[in-house]
Amino acid sequence: MDVPDSRPGSSREPVPRARSGMVGRRYPRTGTEPVTARSPLKLRLLLASVFLPLFVAGTVLFAVWAADSAPGDSPGSGPLTLLAVICGVLALTAALDLTVVLRRLRRERGAAE
């Protein structure tokens, strides 16, 4: 479902890295970072691609382990469930970051979505 972009100046052309965020610069610069400071998108892409499957596997592993644990086992089902939830949240965070990075890279290259 392609929805036309009615914003002024939005013509599927490559967007410079300085303006590749969804909103652009929200706050004036206050630090000493260079004007051309950029987020390391390829590093973020690599890290999210590596850790997303690891966190998904951890979620599944801890959830199955928690389901198979009997009363009196060490560790109990409570800590294992907590670990499964933590891994699930980290997997969702990695998936969200992967989506944002891919969208920004696609926007910079000017490819159609």
Cα separation, 22 vs 20, whole angstroms: 7
* 15-49: pLDDT as tens digits: 565 555 555 555 666 677 666 667 788 999 999 99
Rounded mean pLDDT, 61-86: 93
Cα separation, 28 vs 71, whole angstroms: 57
